[in-house]
């Protein structure tokens, strides 16, 4: 008879308490179920960037592949990327850590700062990965509600923290509320909290007002950025963390695995940084289409769209958001059902995409709500 191995069983049992990340419906699965082509499915649930032309990205990838020797580990390319990205955002290259997407770096920060029984606070609602990474460490995740207008409540956050609190997670602009948190409130947290203040700026390029300029001044600040959103490279998995040079170098040299990012991803990121005109024109288009989407949504009876400083829009419907989500799926449109956001029930989140995609989404939504 097979003897059960206790160590394995313990790990499997322990894992029961962890949440799994729900990536939502996939294009392929939905296309198969609806008997449609994958090109007929609208994927608007993960805030990817469809404004950067696919042909432009493919061209850069082809160049990156031509130049790469995949037999050799990445070498100076990471240094080059730190320098180029540092110039792009206005920090020194020794303040930057490059990882496999910002998720990877959020996880790494939790591994460094949290032990079993420690606590981490985060605004609520927010991106679910923080909870996941905190709980993997056996630490306690404490959500602190945003105010009614989605602004940061630094006072309550500080009152909720204890000597066991090692990290505070903020997301600005926040997912899913789409607003930026106030700089003064964040500075107050950094001044009065003795642990790490980790700010996820995944969507900052769509709003402006980054806090990277404070990373030299505050030794308890770390900022996460990603190449998945503004640069349209979600599939390549690359992101970074920015902190004061001592913390960044320590994370880089002592905690990060030496070859954690693929050579192709680094090369592609380097190439796209050389085309800042493509990026800035995509940002302008996102903003223009976002404002039009909000106007159109607000013109539909029973829909209320919130303001957005990101490349997605949160909106509320006057019936079950789950049923709206499901009916849109039947029409080949994937968005995200969020449900209750503070006092607002039945919220959904949709990615801002080029006008033809938005028009299809809007007519599917109108039909659904008719």
Ligand X SMILES: Cc1ncc(COP(=O)(O)O)c(C=O)c1O
Closest to ligand X by CB, 100 or 220: 100
Smallest gap from Cβ 228 to ligand X, in A, equals 3
DSSP character for 180?
A: P
Q: Quick check: 228 binds ligand X (CB under 6 A)? A: yes
Work out the angle at residue 248's Cα, subtended by the Cα atoms of residues 259 and 265, and round it to the nearest 5 degrees: 35
Interacting residues with ligand X between 235 and 254 (CB under 6 A)? 239
Neighbours of 71 (CB within 10 A): 5
Interacting residues with ligand X between 157 and 196 (CB under 6 A)? 171, 175
Task: Tell me the sheet residues that pair with 42.
Answer: 333
Smallest gap from Cβ 312 to ligand X, in A, equals 8
Helix (H) / strand (E) containing 313: strand 312-317
Q: Do residues 219 and 244 touch, judged by C-beta distance below 8 A? A: yes
Distance CA 202, CA 215 (A): 16
Interacting residues with ligand X between 102 and 121 (CB under 6 A)? 102-103
Part of the chain binding ligand X (CB under 6 A), chosen from 226-234, 259-267, 286-294, 341-349: 226-234
Phi, psi of 348 (to 5 degrees): -135, 160
Task: Tell me the sheet residues that pair with 341.
Answer: 344
Q: Quick check: 125 binds ligand X (CB under 6 A)? A: no
Q: Quick check: 95 binds ligand X (CB under 6 A)? A: no
- Judged by CB under 6 A, the number of residues near ligand X is 14
Distance CA 35, CA 32 (A): 5
Distance CA 294, CA 316 (A): 12
Q: Quick check: 351 binds ligand X (CB under 6 A)? A: no
Neighbours of 152 (CB within 10 A): 24
Smallest gap from Cβ 205 to ligand X, in A, equals 13
- Residue choice 34, 136, 187, 234 for contact with ligand X (CB under 6 A): 234
Part of the chain binding ligand X (CB under 6 A), chosen from 101-109, 151-159, 187-195, 291-299: 101-109
Q: Quick check: 311 binds ligand X (CB under 6 A)? A: no
Render 72-131 in DSSP notation, one character per residue: S---THHHHHHHHHHHHHTS-GGGEEEESHHHHHHHHHHHHH--TT-EEEEEES--THHH
DSSP character for 181?
A: P
Smallest gap from Cβ 9 to ligand X, in A, equals 31
- Residue choice 110, 202, 211, 364 for contact with ligand X (CB under 6 A): 202
Closest to ligand X by CB, 103 or 205: 103
Interacting residues with ligand X between 30 and 69 (CB under 6 A)? 46-47
Instruction: Provide the CA 101 distance to its chain's centre, in angstroms.
Output: 9
Cα distances (angstroms) measured from residue 336 to each of 19, 47, 200, 205, 262: 18, 10, 20, 22, 30
Part of the chain binding ligand X (CB under 6 A), chosen from 96-104, 153-161, 188-196, 359-367: 96-104
Smallest gap from Cβ 232 to ligand X, in A, equals 11
Closest to ligand X by CB, 312 or 325: 312
Smallest gap from Cβ 225 to ligand X, in A, equals 8
Interacting residues with ligand X between 248 and 287 (CB under 6 A)? none
Phi, psi of 48 (to 5 degrees): -80, 170
Three-state DSSP at 200 gives strand
Residues that bind ligand X (CB under 6 A): 46-47, 101-103, 127, 171, 175, 200, 202, 226, 228, 234, 239
């Amino acid at each position: 008879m097979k003897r059960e191995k206790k160590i394995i069983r313990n790990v499997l049992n322990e894992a029961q308490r962890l949440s799994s990340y729900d990536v939502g419906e996939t294009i392929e699965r939905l296309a198969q179920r609806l008997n449609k082509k994958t090109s007929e499915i609208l994927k608007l649930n993960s805030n990817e960037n469809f404004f950067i032309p696919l042909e432009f990205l493919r061209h850069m990838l082809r160049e990156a592949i031509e130049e790469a020797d995949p037999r050799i580990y990445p070498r100076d390319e990471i240094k080059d990327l730190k320098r180029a990205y540092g110039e792009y955002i206005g920090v020194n290259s020794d303040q930057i850590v490059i990882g496999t997407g910002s998720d990877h770096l959020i996880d790494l920060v939790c591994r460094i700062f949290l032990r079993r029984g420690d606590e981490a606070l985060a605004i609520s609602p927010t991106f679910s990965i923080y909870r996941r990474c905190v709980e993997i460490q056996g630490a306690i995740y404490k959500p602190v509600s945003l105010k009614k207008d989605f602004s940061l409540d630094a006072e309550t956050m500080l009152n909720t923290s204890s000597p066991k609190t090692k990290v505070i997670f903020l997301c600005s602009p926040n997912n899913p509320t789409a607003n930026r948190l106030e700089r003064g409130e964040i500075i107050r947290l950094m001044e009065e909290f003795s642990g790490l203040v980790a700010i996820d700026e995944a969507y900052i390029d769509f709003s402006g007002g980054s806090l990277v300029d404070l990373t030299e001044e505050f030794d308890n600040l770390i900022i996460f950025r990603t190449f998945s959103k503004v640069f349209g490279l979600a599939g390549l998995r690359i992101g970074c963390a920015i902190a004061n040079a001592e913390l960044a170098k320590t994370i880089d040299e002592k905690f990060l695995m030496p070859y954690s990012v693929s050579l192709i991803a680094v090369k592609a990121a380097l190439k796209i940084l050389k085309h800042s005109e493509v990026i800035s024109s995509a940002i302008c288009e996102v903003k223009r289409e976002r404002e039009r989407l909000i106007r159109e949504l607000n013109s539909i009876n029973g829909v209320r769209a919130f303001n957005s400083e990101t490349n997605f829009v949160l909106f509320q419907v006057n019936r079950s958001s789950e049923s709206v989500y499901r009916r849109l799926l039947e029409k080949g449109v994937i968005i995200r059902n969020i449900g209750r956001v503070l006092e607002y029930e039945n919220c959904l989140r949709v990615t801002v995409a080029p006008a033809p995609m938005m028009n299809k989404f809007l007519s599917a939504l109108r039909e659904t709500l008719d």
